């Protein structure tokens, strides 16, 4: 049960980290290229890639 709780904390932290990263990228692209280009940040493969990178980072630092 403790391992399940630890895994759920890692997944939750990765989701929050990925959302924050996507929000920052969205705001930067919005300022540089406009709304049409910034809208592409929330679709396609970008959310999946951001979540996988955040999951790797969180699992590395939070499972110790």
**Residue 30 · residue 38 · CB < 8 Å:** yes
Instruction: With beta carbons less than 8 A apart as the criterion, state whether 26 and 38 touch.
Output: yes
* pLDDT, tens digit, 9 for 90 and up, residues 13-61: 999 999 999 999 999 999 999 999 888 888 888 899 999 999 999 888 8
Residues 6+ apart with CB under 8 A from 17: 54, 57, 58
CB environment 1-20: b (16+ within 10 A), e (fewer): eeeeeeeeebeebbeebbee
The pLDDT tens digits for 3-13 are 888 888 889 99
């Amino acid at each position: 049960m403790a391992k399940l709780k630890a895994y759920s904390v890692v997944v939750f932290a990765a989701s929050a980290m990925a959302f924050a990263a996507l929000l920052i990228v969205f705001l930067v692209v919005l300022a540089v290229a406009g709304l049409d280009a910034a809208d592409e940040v929330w679709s396609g493969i970008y959310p999946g890639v951001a979540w996988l990178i955040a999951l790797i980072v969180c699992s590395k630092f939070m499972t110790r």
